Amino acid sequence: MKKEITSLKDVREYVGEKYWEKGLSEKCSGYENASIDWWWNLRWLQCWNQIFPSRDKVVLDLGCGLGGFVAALLTAAGADAHGIDISEYAINKGHQLYEPITQRTSVGSIHDLSMFPDNRVDYIYSMQVFEHLPEDLTDTMIAEMSRVLKLGGQVWAALVLGNGRSADDNDLSHINIHPREWWDEKCVAQGLVPDQDADRRLRNTTAGPDNPGYSYFKDFGWHSICYRKIHV
């Protein structure tokens, strides 16, 4: 019987080497043979930069995994990029794979951003991560995001939305799945309002030039939400 995941400690133990290296074959995640996929990261960056131009901007990747997108932001977008992830394995593996991120990605939970000062970050990015955080830490995470963001700063998160984990979802660390309205209510309470314009524009982005017109959103149907900080 598989162990039920309920706490941050459980999540931390779950997202180890097997999660990243054999997740698909072991049916515990969507990852296999951990590596930085530059085709993915650089083209994802093309979509990102159409909405969130990042040169000389401070970007924080919450749940950065191996740090591939942090590396892409640094080397291809000229951003002051940083990342945090609860998986010690993923952070250490990423440091082995790509040297520029060794001082920019660190092990930690996304609900504790105490290493970042107030009003410092221009953009927060998070790809399929919020659903891994225990629900009782959600308000703390959102308060921390609001604290570190500059006024007018923006959040783009892609996450699993719905009413709990579906029957075909093998990732047992998906323990915080709710409808978009649930997230909106919590974010608004912390000064982060839905950014409908950014959300709409992001869904219309395409990557190229080697594959002109290709849309990740059309093919993969990411559950994407965007917010903007409107007050402290």
| Coil vs helix vs strand at 195 | coil
Mean pLDDT of 43-71: 93
Residue 162: both structure tokens together: 């719905």
pTM of the model: 0.94
Q: Which domain holds residue 41?
A: 37-229
Label residue 139 by pLDDT band (50, 70, 90).
very high
- At 2 the pLDDT is 67
- Does the pLDDT of residue 108 top 60, yes or no? yes
Give percent of the chain with pLDDT exceeding 90. 75
Give percent of the chain with pLDDT exceeding 70. 93
Confirm whether 9 is domain-assigned. Answer: no
As for how many domains the chain has, the answer is: 1
Mean pLDDT of 59-87: 96
Confirm whether 177 is domain-assigned. Answer: yes
Any long-range contacts for 51-57 (C-beta under 8 Å, 24+ apart)?
A: 51/156, 51/198, 51/201, 51/202, 51/205, 52/123, 52/125, 52/154, 52/156, 52/198, 54/78, 54/79, 54/81, 54/122, 54/123, 55/79, 56/80, 57/122, 57/123
Confirm whether 6 is domain-assigned. Answer: no
The better pLDDT of the pair 41, 118 is held by 118
Confirm whether 103 is domain-assigned. Answer: yes
CA dihedral 56, 62, 65, 70 (to 10 degrees): 0
Label residue 218 by pLDDT band (50, 70, 90).
confident
Residue-averaged pLDDT of the chain = 91
Confirm whether 153 is domain-assigned. Answer: yes
Q: Cis before residue 194, ω within 30 degrees of 0?
A: no
- At 115 the pLDDT is 94
Confirm whether 26 is domain-assigned. Answer: no
**Contact in structure between 120 and 148 (CB atoms under 8 Å):** yes
- At 220 the pLDDT is 65
Cβ within 8 Å of residue 92, ≥6 positions away: none
- Whole-angstrom Cα distance, residue 214 to residue 100? 29
Confirm whether 13 is domain-assigned. Answer: no
Confirm whether 165 is domain-assigned. Answer: yes
**Contact in structure between 174 and 132 (CB atoms under 8 Å):** yes
Mean pLDDT of 186-212: 86
CATH number of the domain within which 167 lies: 3.40.50.150
